Amino acid sequence: MLYIGVDLGTSAVKLLLMDETGKIHNIVSKEYPLYFVHPGWSEQKPEDWYAQTLAGIEELISNCKKGDIAGISFGGQMHGLVALDAKDNVIRPAILWNDGRTGKETDYLNQVIGKEKLSEYTANIAFAGFTAPKILWMKEQEPENFVRIAKIMLPKDYLAYRLSGVHCTDYSDASGMLLLDVKNKCWSKEMMEICGVSEEQLPKLYESYEVVGTLQPDIAGKLGLSSDVKIIAGAGDNAAAAVGTGTVGDGMCNISLGTSGTIFISSKTFGVDKNNALHSFAHADGYYHLMGCMLSAASCNRWWMEQILKTTEYVKEQENIVKLGENKVFYLPYLMGERSPHNDPKARATFTGMTMDTTREEMTQAVLEGVTFGLRDSLEVARSLGIKIERTKICGGGAKSMLWKKIIANVMNLTVDVIESEEGPGYGGAILAAVGCGEFSSVEEAAGKLVKIIDTIEPEPKLVEKYEERYQKFRRIYPTMKELFHTLAENK
């Protein structure tokens, strides 16, 4: 049988066709616009996601036996607010995960409601990108739209709804809304009251591998598929990527270098770090995970390469970088503010330490290192909880760089396992579809059979020592700059 995984990203939707052995038969990518209406704002049109997904599926299955397609599932960008009216029409463009407009609402939740209460209700505190602050923003700034809301959805769930007709979400994605009682896996009555929404306005909750419905007949007819094709709930992009890299069960780690960057630690038991520096979310395998999330990761490198250097020759720009652990230039990777562990939407990116003899290569190296140092900040929080991590999987566009993988292994002092498929969320989505269709009895069984390690990068003791010194200097930059960032934001 064949399974479709849909990875709804920030710049494009990537669709993947996988069989029951884990073999990938086809991959299709379709781009759509991203709108920056005001500085710090980030929006997209859900209708664009759906149109490009449908076009992508049509192309994806054009050369396969359509009768073999059994299920479709998803990995998707998290936290985005999709508001539908009583007729299921989109009320306004979706406010995305990397949108920074909700500073006032985030402060209200953290300072007035209080971090302790939020953690008690949801296992997390408020971050500017989360959905609940967006709802509060819409309530205050667009009251005429707020009163029209009949359903609140997340990005990938809008696709699942359009394909199945069911208003659904899964526990992993819902965990990032600040509306879910993560520990007890139910909507938080307290948070609904705070946000002024009812349970009827929220989608039905499912495990990521559960079937929510089947393909709507009119869509099935258009695509040449059976209306018996199952639609499986899917997961937030990071949980789906973790499934796609085999980061399921207890004590496993995955680093994702996508538009955003994450460090993801799976656990069979629920847990919260006392400062809420890491997110405590449900996992797509039915259990839990801790996650640190940077808002800008591979997107930092893309910005540097394409916007500043005006090139797409990524490999060429990295081939002369050889002085690892010795770079005197530091890069603070906060192009869109930062989430973990600083929770500061006013933080900004900086280069520090340039001199007249600073080279192009050193600047490029600083970008790769800065993102890695930022991810290590979250790793250090996990280590402070007594969690012992010795190795990690890796995925995302940045994972294609051998140099970046080597930097990660040595900055973090972790063994880095490279898997056969670097398709992260899309592959995870396809695996969830296979589980939902009964191909495997559990997500753990599926990941154990389908995910294959093809390369391993070991840290080098001397390089680890050099990077330890560089990291200790890096971690002093943000605290030194924080007050200035906030002053500059006030004078905009």
Q: Which residues are catalytic?
A: 237
Amino acid (one-letter) located at 459: P
Could you tell me which of 363, 341, 344 has the C-alpha nearest to residue 352? 363
- Residue 19 buriedness (CB in 10 A; 0-12 / 13-18 / 19+): middle
Find all residues with CB under 8 Å of 26, minimum gap 6, and list them. 16, 17, 60, 61, 63, 64
What is each CA distance from 91 to 36, 139, 142, in whole angstroms? Answer: 18, 13, 11
Alpha carbon dihedral 238, 240, 241, 244, in 10-degree steps, equals: 160
Amino acid (one-letter) located at 203: P
Residue 297 tokens read as 């990761």
Find all residues with CB under 8 Å of 15, minimum gap 6, and list them. 4, 5, 6, 7, 27, 28, 29, 30, 53, 56, 57, 60, 426
Could you tell me which of 290, 223, 226, 269 has the C-alpha nearest to residue 70? 226
Residue 328 tokens read as 């005197």
DSSP string of 226-258? -TT-EEE--EEHHHHHHHHTT--SSS-EEEEES
Q: Which element (helix H / strand E) includes 207?
A: none
Q: What pairing do the DSSP bridges indicate for beta strands 261-267 and 253-257?
A: antiparallel
Within 13 Å, how many C-alpha atoms sit on residue 456's CB side?
10
Residue 22 tokens read as 């884990």
Q: How many CB atoms lie within 10 A of CB 309?
A: 14
Could you tell me which of 56, 142, 53 has the C-alpha nearest to residue 95? 142
Amino acid (one-letter) located at 151: K
Dist CA 6 CA 8 (whole Å):
6
Q: Report whether 25 contacts 18 (CB < 8 A).
A: yes
Amino acid (one-letter) located at 219: I
DSSP state of 303: I
Q: Is 79 annotated as a binding residue?
A: yes
SS3 state at 290? strand
Could you tell me which of 203, 189, 198 has the C-alpha nearest to residue 156? 203
Could you tell me which of 139, 59, 74 has the C-alpha nearest to residue 429? 74
Q: Which residues are annotated as a binding site?
A: 78-79
Q: Which residues are annotated as a binding site for substrate?
A: 78-79
